[in-house]
Amino acid sequence: MAPLIQTVGLRKDYRVGDVIVPALRGVDLEVAGGGFVSVVGASGSGKSTLMNILGLLDQPTGGRYLLSGEDVSALDRDRRATLRNRTIGFVFQSFNLLARTSALENVELPLLYDGTHATAADRHRRARALLEAVGLGSRVDHTPAQLSGGQQQRVAIARALVTGPRLLLADEPTGNLDSRTSIEIMEILQRLNRDDGLTVVLITHEHDIAEYGERNVVFRDGRVVDDQPVSRRRDASAELQALPAPEEAA
């Protein structure tokens, strides 16, 4: 079976004035369905550029990108939007929730664009189920301003999953969170990967966070310089149980 993600000599050049900045210089990467890959590398090494292309937010300047065996390097805007909606979920460092909008409605957002014309009741039901899965069943009506950073990121995860995608792309999802909250987020990602077979590509520059993945890809100057299984994979669930209980439950 074809890998879920396959890139062949992927290149991305940015043009700034007359200068061409190569951000990706030939990336060959494969991620099997159900995998959990961490991508690490110094700042400016091209991690986010890669994620944007894998997430069909951006198009490569050269090379090929096959998603589920289909070449998607040159799809038009709307085809890419539809594919993003159906097969890819995003989690960003800065959460990117709609302000003054309830958690429930934030999670429902992708359902407005999935072309199924689901009823409002149906959308509510699906969004609520996902908020419950990330432990926010009691916060559905809270707006982002009424939620902690960790809770906001969990809303973002629920939003990423509401259309039932196969692939979750997370760019520094714990970048704005403290260590305990980071472990909680990792627990959710590991659980989704393990229980639901969700493929996760986690971008981070923290090596200890990268160890929650099963495979570690190292980036430098727009190239993959190392690609190895994680030798002692961390288990967020076990770590959480070992930690003293938080003062305030989510």
Partner 1 sequence: MIAEALSILRIAFRALARNKVRSALTALGVIIGVASVIAMIALGSGARAAIDEQIQSTGTNVVFVSAGSHNRPGAAHGGMGSVQTLTLEDATAIREQVPTVAYLTPVVRGRAQVIAGSQNWNTSIEGADESYLTIRNWPLADGENLSPRDVLLADKVCLLGDTVARTLFPGEDPVGQVLRVKNLPFRVIGVLSPKGQGQWGQDQDDVVVAPYTTIQRKLLGITFIHQIMISATRSDAVERTAVDVTHLLRQRHRTSGPEDDDFSVRTVEEMAETRSQLAQTMSGLLMSVASVSLLVGGIGIMNIMLVSVTERTREIGLRMAVGARTRDILSQFLTEAVSLSVLGGVAGIVLGVAVSAALTRVLGWPTMITAGAILVAFVFAAAVGIFFGYYPARKAADLDPIDALRYE
Ligand X SMILES: Nc1ncnc2c1ncn2[C@@H]1O[C@H](COP(=O)(O)OP(=O)(O)OP(=O)(O)O)[C@@H](O)[C@H]1O
What is the nearest approach in angstroms of ligand X to the Cβ of residue 14? 3
Which range, of 46-54, 95-103, 159-167, 183-191, touches ligand X by CB under 6 A?
46-54
Terminal alpha carbon distance of the chain: 41
Q: Which of residues 27-56 bind partner 1 (CB under 8 A)?
A: 52, 55
* Beta strand segments in the chain, E: 5-16, 19-31, 36-41, 62-67, 70-71, 88-91, 167-171, 199-203, 215-220, 223-229
Are 74 and 59 within 8 A, CB to CB? yes
CA-wise closest residue to 44 among 175, 169, 222 = 222
> With respect to ligand X, which residue has the nearer C-beta, 133 or 169?
169
Which CB, 113 or 146, lies closer to partner 1?
Answer: 113
CA 14 to chain centroid: 23
Part in contact with partner 1 (CB under 8 A); list of ranges 19-27, 61-69, 106-114, 136-144:
106-114
Q: How far is the CB of 194 from partner 1 (least distance, A)?
A: 25
Are 154 and 166 contacting, i.e. CB atoms less than 8 angstroms apart? no
User: Largest Cα–Cα distance of the chain, in whole Å?
Assistant: 56
- 47-66 residues in contact with Mg ion (CB under 5 A) are 48
Contacted entry of ligand X, Mg ion, partner 1, none for residue 148, CB cut-off 5 to 8 Å set by kind = none
State the residues that interact with partner 1 by CB under 8 A: 52, 55, 57-58, 77-78, 81-82, 84-86, 90, 92, 96, 98, 100, 109-110, 112-114, 117, 119-120, 159, 163
State the residues that interact with Mg ion by CB under 5 A: 48
